[in-house]
Structure 1
Amino acid sequence: MAEYSRTQRLRWFPLVRHEASRLLLSKGPWLLAVVLPLWIYRPSFDLGDALGANVTITFVQYVAHIVVPFAVVLLCYRTIAGERESKQLKTLLNLPLSRQELFIAKFLGRLIGVLTPILLAIAIVTGLGVVNTGLMSIQKYLAVLGVTVVYVAALVGITVSVSAVVSRGITAAAVLFFGVVVVMELLWRQVVGQIVAFATDAGLLTDESTRDAVVIFLQRLTPSESYYTTTNWVLSSENAVGRIRSSGEPAIILSERFNDIPWYLHEGFGPVILLLWVVLPLGIGMFVFSRGDAL
């Protein structure tokens, strides 16, 4: 039985390797590896004074700021939809793999292909940071690095899942660019503002303190904001909203807004929300793909 189980697992490993290799043989990931260090390396005198050598860890937080979400969409939106269009999916479906195994292999292959340049960029920036400010807390660095891997897995999972449930690559690109890049990265705070304004006009949020708490809770629901909440918690920063900035503190510190911080704004919800962004899109994408449906 153990040998059979091992064989079952190994049979989709070649497809994982093929998917990762195909992506890494293209120019996109290596362009990301060149651009990303320039984007995330942001040495600051004030920030260095506030955090000491741990300033290097805060550079990693910039992975969640626009460039990586946009890059993941570009690198992964055709993962399954593109092969459905080119009829290559029919060939893959003739392999001795279930649709679930095919979906998992596609996801893991793309994740490896995307993580490789991102981790390379982080390694370069880490080296620069250590040279300039000294060795940071290894435990906190590894914890933030682990959260970053989960965050990238969430983005890849969302992108591959959308690609699995639509019939055309252009449809996947449009849905992902608008949903992930425009709404969740660029306009989410405005969206939250409109939701709260509507609820206030409807008489649902009459208390100002409750209204502020709901705004912050909703702002934290995106992958990037849940990533910031979790990494700030790891860095022992204040319970806050947004990444750590040049002052050494995040943009909004909750203890300055509330005398008694509501339970649903505890930092512990950050990793829960982030993990849900991994599990739910993958679960939905796998379910729809396993049924053979496409929108």
Structure 2
Amino acid sequence: MSLVAVTRKEYLDSIRSYTLIGLVGLFVTFTVFLAGIQWIPNLPGVSVSGDTNTLALLNSMRQPSLYLVPLVGIMVGYKAIAGERSSGSIRLILGLPNTRGEIFFGKLLGQTAVVSTAILVGYGAAALVALISYDSFALVEFGLYTLLTLLYALACVSIALGFSASTRSRTRALAGAITVYSVILIFWDGITALLQTATVGYTVPAGEQPAWLSVVYGLNPSTAFANAARAVLPEYREITRFTYIETNIWVDWYGFIVLGLWIVIPIAIGYFCFSKSDIE
């Protein structure tokens, strides 16, 4: 076996267990439904340029995607290695000519491929609906947004796999991944808002946010994903305002750096723990 073989096995296992089929169905249903909802938020003083139909679709998909993609990534990735250790099948895999690195990164690539396939099929279905039914549709811009979503998915799978590789228990891996999901998507903004209220007040004029607080807001991977989209798609920037991080110290393309950190750090920690652990 090799890295390619482990990756292929992960992908084929997801097909045999109907995981991939279920995820594809979920994303197709989700995106096709949203393709029929065209809404541009009313932003006083902002004139929206670009293809309004495409912006409407991206706006409809933005918030649900921020929550659905991490949820899918975590549910797919948390059991990748911890599940093998709980069942004892990890000993069989290691008994084949595999290194731990091949197993770890094969799992990462395989699980990411599963989530990416679901996203690509789902977003492709939405694009098809848009091309057929919209008066105009910016396919290139939508394609760029889709690629950014794949990067966001990789970060989410990396977080889940990091927990999966750091423990031998599926329950602990799931608990850790759910905790991170909750902190990132439910509690992060609330905690940061409390810090803001305690340090500078409840309301802060745009552009006057302390630099350190803007950095805390920007380190959230979901915010980083939105910032990366704003950096690549100037029109998208017009419908997504982040007044709380609009300071001289923070620019949109930093979102790529933050997403990169959320990919590299969990992978590094997970691989280190897995490479040093005793397999019983």
- The interval holding the TM-score normalised by the smaller chain is 0.7 to 0.9
SS of the equivalent of 2:40 reads helix
1:195 matches 2:166? no
User: SS in structure 2 opposite 1:66?
Assistant: helix
Equivalent residue in structure 1 for 2:226, among 225, 228, 232: 228
In the alignment, what sits opposite 1:111? 112
String of CA shifts for 1:127-160, please: whole Å, max 9, x gaps.
1122222453343233222211111111111111
Residues 32, 216 of structure 1: alpha-carbon distance in 2 compared, 3 angstrom cutoff: farther
In structure 1, the partner of 2:44 is none
Q: Distance in 1 between matches of 2:112 and 2:11?
A: 8
Structure 2 residue runs of 5 or longer lacking an equivalent are: 42-46
Q: Is the 8 A contact 1:193 1:215 kept in 2?
A: no
Question: 1: CA distance between counterparts of 2:76 and 2:123?
Answer: 19
The one-letter code of the counterpart of 1:36 is F
From 239, 243, 252, the counterpart of 1:249: 239
Match of 2:40 among 44, 47, 52: 47
- Rounded Cα–Cα distance in structure 2 between residues aligned with 1:212 and 1:150: 29
3-state SS in 1 of match to 2:252: coil
User: Where do 1:168-187 residues align within 5 Å?
Assistant: 168-180=169-181, 182-187=182-187
Write the mapping of 1:117-196 to structure 2, written as runs, cut at 5 A. 117-180=118-181, 182-196=182-196
Which residue of structure 2 lines up, in the alignment, with residue 242 of structure 1? none
Aligned to 1:268: 253
TM-score, scaled relative to structure 1: 0.79
* Per-residue deviation, 1:223: 1.7
Q: Deviations over 1:176-233 (max 9, x none)?
A: 11211x11112221121233345559xxxxx976546544432221221111111122
Give the superposition deviation at 1:58.
4.4
Runs (5+) with no aligned partner, structure 1 = 1-9, 202-206, 240-247
CA distance in 1, matches of 2:242, 2:81: 42
Please tell me the residue identity of whatever aligns with 2:171.
I
What is aligned with 1:14? 5
Residues 64 and 167 of structure 1, relative CA distance in 2, 3 Å threshold: same
**Structure 1 residue 89 and structure 2 residue 80: aligned?**
no
How many residues get paired? 266
Regions of 4+ moved over 6 Å:
none
1:263 counterpart SS class: coil
Contact kept? 2:108, 2:158, Cα under 8 Å: yes
Does the Cα contact within 8 Å between 2:77 and 2:161 map onto a contact in 1? yes
Distance across 2 between alignment mates of 1:249 and 1:110: 32
Distance change in 2, residues 1:45/1:115 (3 Å)? closer
Distance (Å, rounded) in 2 between the aligned partners of 1:226 and 1:293? 36
2:108 is the counterpart of 1:101: no
Tell me the amino acid that sits aligned with residue 222 of structure 2: S
Contact 1:238 1:253 in 2 (8 A): no
- Note the C-alpha offset of 1:21: 0.9
* Number of the residue aligned with 1:243: none
Do the aligned partners of 1:157 and 1:278 also contact (CA within 8 Å) in 2? yes
Alignment of 1:74-85 (within 5 A): 74-85=75-86
Q: 1:213 to 1:134 in 2, by over 3 A?
A: farther
Equivalent residues of 1:39, 1:62 under 8 A apart = no
Distance in 2, Cα, partners of 1:36 & 1:11:
31
Distance 2:129 2:211 in 1: 38
Q: Distance in 1 between matches of 2:195 and 2:4?
A: 45
Is 2:51 the counterpart of 1:61? Answer: no
| 1:72 aligned partner, one-letter code | G
